[in-house]
Amino acid sequence: MKNIARFLKVSLLILLAASITQSCSLFGGGKGGGVSSATGMAYGDANDTISFKPYDIQNLPNPPGMVFVQGGRTVLGSFEQDLFGARDNIERTVTVNSFYMDETEITNEKWKEYVYYQFRPMPEQMGKDTEVKDDPNNPFVPSQTSHNGQELADLVPEDSVWASDFSFNDVYSQNYYSNPGFNEYPVVGVTWRQVVDYTKWRTDAVNYGIISSVAFDELPDEFKLEFYNPDGSLQMLGASASTTGTQEVFLEELDQLQQDMIAYINQNKKMFIERGLYLPEFRLPNEAEWEYAAKATVGTQYLD
C-alpha cells in the first residue's frame, strides 16, 4: 500500500485554459485594407511594406480530444455543520472561466504515444518539398535520453501501484500498461511530475502541428529567417537535393530540427499568439474547474 501513496492512481484528465476573448472586427479592424478609425490612415496590404497591418482574425482550432466547458459559478466546500471548528472547507461561491477539458481520461494508448515521441521525431514536418529518409549508412537509432532529458524508466507508469497485500492484482501489474488489450483504459501509476511533463509535451506537439500546417507566407518573418531559405526550403546542414527535386532530410536531422523549432517557438511564443497560431498551455484542472465540469450546470444558471 506504500507504493499507492506515491503515485496518482486517478483518472487523468488534462485541461486547456481557454481565456476566451471575443475578437472584434468593428472600426475596420481585423483585415488589411481597412481604415483606422483612430487616425484615418489606411491599413497596409500584402504589397505595402510601410503601413501598419493588423493581423487577420484567426479562429483557433479546437484542441484535439477536448470539449468546451462554458464558464459560470459553482459552490465549493462542505455545507455540513463544522462541529470541530476546523474551518478548512468553508462553503463558498467561485467563478470559473470557460475552458476546454479532455472528453475522456488519458488512456494507456495516449501515454504510449507520448513516450514514443520523446525519443523520435514527430510526423509533422515543415519546409517546401521535403522528403524524410533514413540514412542507409547511419540508420536512426533512438537516443537513450528523451527530449526532456529523462530515461525510458522515468516516463512509463509504475506497475507496482497495483500491488496490495489484500487483493490479487498480479494480472494488472504485469499487463495493465503493456498489454494492448488495455490500450483504451485510463493510465494509472503516474506521478504528478510525470503528468506535468506530459502536459508540456502535449502543448509543444499540438502547437507545432498547428504551425507546421500554416502556409509559408503566413509564418512570422523572424521564424522564416531562422529556419528557412527565401524559397521556403529548410536551412539545414546535411540536407541535400534528391533526383526528384525535393529536399532530403534524414530522421536524425529532422529530430534535432524539430526540437530547435519547438524551443524557438516557446521562447518567442508571443509572435505566434498574436497571429492566432498558438493554443494556451495544457495543464491539470484545479479544484474549482474539476467540480464545476463534473456538476455540468451549464444552462441551469442565471447570469448577472
Question: What is the pLDDT, as a whole number, of residue 181?
Answer: 93
Please give the model's pTM, rounded to 2 decimal places.
0.80
Using a 10 angstrom Cβ sphere, with 0-12 exposed, 13-18 middle and 19 or more buried, the burial of residue 1 is: exposed
Please give the pLDDT value at position 7: 47
Distance CA 46, CA 66 (A): 35
Residue ranges for the chain with pLDDT beneath 50:
1-10, 18-32, 304
pLDDT at 224: 92
Burial class (CB in 10 A: 0-12, 13-18, 19+), 64: exposed
In the structure grid, which three cell numbers stand for residue 202, read together? Answer: 502535449
Q: So what's the pLDDT on residue 240?
A: 53
Q: What are φ and ψ of residue 229, in 5° steps?
A: -85, 165
With DSSP H G I counted as helix, E B as strand and the rest as coil, what are the percentages for the chain, rounded to 5?
30, 15, 55
Report the pLDDT value the prediction gives residue 141, as an integer from 0 to 100.
85
Mutual orientation of helices 251-267 and 192-212 as an angle, nearest 10°? 100
